[in-house]
């Protein structure tokens, strides 16, 4: 018997409970032993819910029960999740989590604490919801040097951008609709400002380069400045706008950022719509490999968490290793990172913009009659800013 304790009975926690109980045949078969939820920890009561029989409000019940093998942290946030995870590990219990904030901030420390105590710490659901990208990087993509990793890492913003594009709606209108439908949080800041995607690209970068990547050093821009004229003009040129997390290592350094990008039709990320996420890695042997699936949502995320539980059950008594050291990745200044740029402005400065950018690609549309956009050649942001001077424009990178 593998006894599991779930910390937090919110969306993901109740999903984990449902998957373990509802899919117990396949979960237990894959684990090689019967998997059972012994405790659920939450401050709230859930009258009428079957979980009431195993609900506790006191974490010590779990910590002091030696029959609990695996603690599942799905509370979110830094505290008390951080303390609870460390206490479980110190008691010899393996832990899995969906908490990207915790993994991005303390992943290095928690992994070494788990090693010290001969248990494991897994976090598949912290990036890409149900997409099995972390285990793939850690266990399968181990023969390449990866120079570039980028992806659509946030379901909420991808849903908003897709709706803006497909229905020609303004950002605020779509955000409100997403909130009403429960896709976006009442406080959507972490998603729309890119903070959520920032933690996810930091985790992926730490895994891919084997060194700790500090999310606070990753420049992060969200989608709040995207206007309808941007999506319309981008579309007229055959592009979709997507919020990307990106880390790119080239001869000048390692660049990491979260920012909106124009994606052309020939890039597989172009067709990744709604709450779907996708991650693309480029290695020196493998070249491109892409992962695609639901990046958010109760069942998809819970499926990834329970996948970790099965992995932990199969590896009782050992530490599953991660090639993620305490050494820190040194990131270069993104002002020097070279890409093409989409530069959108009011029509009344079209001539001046045309002259300073000297671009061959001009985008116009009857659906955005007062705006014009240009696609520049590849250059650094610093070089672009020098050309633009004080011109009032909106700039988006082009992948
Ligand atoms: N808020 C996140 C998203 C949830 O929208 O992608 C999954 O991490």
Q: What is the pLDDT of residues 4-57, one digit of tens each?
A: 999 999 999 999 999 999 999 999 999 999 999 999 999 999 999 999 999 999
- For residue 200, indicate whether it is catalytic: yes
Query: Which pLDDT score, from 0 to 100, does residue 200 have?
Result: 98
Q: Please indicate whether residue 99, judged by its CB atom, sits closer than 6 Å to ligand 1.
A: no
Q: Ligand 1 atom closest to Cα of 191?
A: 1
Q: How far is CA 3 from CA 30, 51, 67, 271, 362, in A?
A: 15, 15, 7, 41, 61
SS (H, E, C) 50-104: HHHHHEECCHHHHHCCCCEEEEEECCCCCCCHHHHHHHHHHCCCEEEECCHHHHH
Calculate how far, in angstroms, residue 43's C-alpha sits from the geometric centre of ligand 1: 24
Query: Which pLDDT score, from 0 to 100, does residue 157 have?
Result: 96
Query: Which pLDDT score, from 0 to 100, does residue 273 have?
Result: 96
> Atom 7 of ligand 1 has which residue's CA nearest to it?
296
Q: Please indicate whether residue 8, judged by its CB atom, sits closer than 6 Å to ligand 1.
A: no
Confidence of residue 183 (pLDDT cuts 50, 70, 90): confident
Query: Which pLDDT score, from 0 to 100, does residue 174 have?
Result: 94
Model confidence, pTM: 0.96
Cis preceding linkage at 199, omega within 30: no
Q: What is the pLDDT of residues 117-153, one digit of tens each?
A: 999 999 999 999 999 999 999 999 999 999 999 999 9
Residue 260 has pLDDT above 80, yes or no: yes
Q: Ligand 1 atom closest to Cα of 185?
A: 1
Query: Which pLDDT score, from 0 to 100, does residue 396 have?
Result: 98
H-helix or E-strand spanning residue 37:
strand 35-41
Average pLDDT, the chain: 96
Q: Is the separation of the CB atoms in 398 and 150 below 8 Å?
A: no
Q: Cα separation of 31 and 49, whole Å? A: 26
Confidence of residue 182 (pLDDT cuts 50, 70, 90): confident
Q: Ligand 1 atom closest to Cα of 100?
A: 8
**Sign of the alpha-carbon dihedral angle for 382, 388, 394, 399:** negative
Residue 179 has pLDDT above 90, yes or no: no
Query: Which pLDDT score, from 0 to 100, does residue 66 have?
Result: 98
Name the catalytic one among 38, 100, 163, 200: 200
Residue 296 has pLDDT above 90, yes or no: no
Please choose from 154, 194, 222 the residue to mutate so as to test ligand 1's pocket, defined by most ligand atoms within 8 A of CB. 154
Q: Please indicate whether residue 293, judged by its CB atom, sits closer than 6 Å to ligand 1.
A: no
Calculate how far, in angstroms, residue 146's C-alpha sits from the geometric centre of ligand 1: 25
Q: What is the pLDDT of residues 215-245, one digit of tens each?
A: 999 999 999 999 999 999 999 999 999 999 9
Q: Is the separation of the CB atoms in 268 and 290 below 8 Å?
A: yes
């Amino acid at each position: 018997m593998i006894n599991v304790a779930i910390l937090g009975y919110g969306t993901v926690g109740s999903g984990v409970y449902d998957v373990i109980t509802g899919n117990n045949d396949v979960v237990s078969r894959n684990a090689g032993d019967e998997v059972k939820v012994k405790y659920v920890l939450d401050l709230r009561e859930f009258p009428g819910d079957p979980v009431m029989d195993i609900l506790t409000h006191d974490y010590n019940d779990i910590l002091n029960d030696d029959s609990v093998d695996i603690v599942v942290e799905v509370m979110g946030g830094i505290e008390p999740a951080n303390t609870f995870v460390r206490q479980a590990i110190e008691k010899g219990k393996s832990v899995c989590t969906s908490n990207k904030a915790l993994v991005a901030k303390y992943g290095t420390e928690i992994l070494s604490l788990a090693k010290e105590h001969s248990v494991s710490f897994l976090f598949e659901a912290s990036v890409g919801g149900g997409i099995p990208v972390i285990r793939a990087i850690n266990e399968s993509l181990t023969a390449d040097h990866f120079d570039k990793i980028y992806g659509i890492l946030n379901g909420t913003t991808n849903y908003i951008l897709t709706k803006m594009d497909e229905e020609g709606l303004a950002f605020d209108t779509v955000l409100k609709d997403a909130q009403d439908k429960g896709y976006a949080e009442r406080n959507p800041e972490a998603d729309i400002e890119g903070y959520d995607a920032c933690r996810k690209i930091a985790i992926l970068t730490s895994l891919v380069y084997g060194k700790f990547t500090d999310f606070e050093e990753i420049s992060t821009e969200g989608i709040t400045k995207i206007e309808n004229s941007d999506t319309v003009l981008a579309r007229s040129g055959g592009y979709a706008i997507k919020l990307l997390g990106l880390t790119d290592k080239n001869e000048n350094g390692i660049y990491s950022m979260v920012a909106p990008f124009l994606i052309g039709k020939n890039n597989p990320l172009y067709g990744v719509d709604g709450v779907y996420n996708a991650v693309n890695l480029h290695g020196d042997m493998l070249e491109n490999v892409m992962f695609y699936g639901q990046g958010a949502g109760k069942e998809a995320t819970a499926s990834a968490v329970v996948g970790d539980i099965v992995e932990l059950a199969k590896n009782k008594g050992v530490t599953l290793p991660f090639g993620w050291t305490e050494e820190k990745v040194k990131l270069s200044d993104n002002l020097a990172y070279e890409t093409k740029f989409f530069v959108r402005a009011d029509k009344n400065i079209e001539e001046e913009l045309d002259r300073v950018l000297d671009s061959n690609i001009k985008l116009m549309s009857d659906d955005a009659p007062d705006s014009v956009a240009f696609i520049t050649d590849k250059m650094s942001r610093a070089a672009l800013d020098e050309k633009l001077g004080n011109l009032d424009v909106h700039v988006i990178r082009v992948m």
